[in-house]
Amino acid sequence: MAEKQRILISGINRGIGRALTMRLLEDGHQVAGLNRRPSSATSFPIGNSESLKLLQGDIRDPGSCSAAIASLMETWDSIDILVNNAGVYPEDPDAVFEDVAKDDFRLAMETNFLGPVNLTRAALPLLRNAPAPKILFMGSGAGSITTKEDSRSYCYGTSKAALHMFARTLGYELKPPVWTVSVLSPGWIRTDMGGPNAELGIEDIIDPLTRTILSLNSTHHGQFINRFGEKGHYQW
């Protein structure tokens, strides 16, 4: 087994975040999971108070992210990998512009773009204490400007495009050989967000996704990778 890692993940009570947490705990890593309602994430059949830390926090609120990290600091002195996973898809994907609720733009931007900004900023002191810290942002092909060819997903796509730009900018400040900063899209997955018609189940992606997260290195830095860690599948 690879060296044990300390991994902070946002949004672990369902979907990809939950499956990733389960797999990392099975493999002997330590996970800190941030959720708005941590009680809904306590039903993990694996993990104990040593290996799984449940943190309460809303990524839209910088103070809440800082408080969550402060409580983590009581037991952890470093974070090896931050997985900015939590996200929302608030809208009807087919709504025309005039019908898109203003609040949906706000919710998407506050969660998918500012949320990872808030959590990353709060986690920086603990990331800095790791020998080779990694920051992963869950991006999306829907946030690709280069390949945009429809008028769907105004709010989600715009917020992920903003996230991609933030991640790429950050990667010019936090650089190898110490840092790795990457954007990853898992593919279209059957979760509450992806819906029942998505092409892949979580079970199809969790192995390569976990392997890629644990093996992030300078070759992934500043790149928009897929769940296999490959560049080129997605474009900015």
Ligand X SMILES: NC(=O)c1ccc[n+]([C@@H]2O[C@H](COP(=O)([O-])OP(=O)(O)OC[C@H]3O[C@@H](n4cnc5c(N)ncnc54)[C@H](OP(=O)(O)O)[C@@H]3O)[C@@H](O)[C@H]2O)c1
- The stretch among 15-23, 48-56, 167-175, 208-216 that binds ligand X (CB under 6 A) is 15-23
202-214 helix and 15-26 helix, angle to the nearest 10 degrees: 60
105 binds ligand X (CB under 6 A): no
Please tell me the distance from the alpha carbon of residue 100 to that of residue 184, in angstroms, as a whole number.
Answer: 27
Residue 62 vs 176, nearer CB to ligand X: 62
Binding flag, residue 140, ligand X (CB under 6 A): yes
Among 5, 21, 30, 111, binds ligand X (CB under 6 A): 111
Which one of residues 5, 30, 85, 212 is an interface residue with ligand X (CB under 6 A)? 85
Instruction: Find the residue with minimal CB distance to ligand X.
Output: 15
The answer to whether residue 25 forms part of the interface with ligand X (CB under 6 A) is: no
Q: Does 210 bind ligand X (CB under 6 A)?
A: no
Contact set for ligand X, span 142-181 (CB under 6 A): none
The residue count for binding ligand X (CB under 6 A) is: 30
Whole-number CA gyration radius for the chain: 17
Residue 87 binds ligand X, judged by CB under 6 A: yes
Rule CB under 6 A: say whether 123 interacts with ligand X: no
Residue number, 5 or 144, with CB nearest to ligand X: 144
Which span sits near ligand X by CB under 6 A: 53-61, 124-132, 166-174, 214-222? 53-61
Stretch that binds ligand X, among 66-74, 173-181, 186-194, 220-228 (CB under 6 A): 186-194
The one among 188, 211, 221, 231 contacting ligand X by CB under 6 A: 188
Residue 10 engages ligand X in binding (rule: CB under 6 A): yes
Assess 226 for contact with ligand X (CB under 6 A). no
3-state secondary structure the chain: CCCCCEEEEECCCCHHHHHHHHHHHHCCCEEEEEECCHHHHCCCCCCCCCCEEEEECCCCCHHHHHHHHHHHCCCCCCCCEEEECCCCCCCCCCCCHHHCCHHHHHHHHHHHHHHHHHHHHHHHHHHHCCCCCEEEEECCHHHCCCCCCCCCCHHHHHHHHHHHHHHHHHCCCCCCCCCEEEEEECCCECCCCCCCCCCECHHHHHHHHHHHHHCCCHHHCCCEEECCCCECCCCC
- Positions touching ligand X (CB under 6 A) are 10-11, 13-17, 35-37, 58-60, 85-88, 111, 115, 138, 140, 185-186, 188-189, 191-194, 198
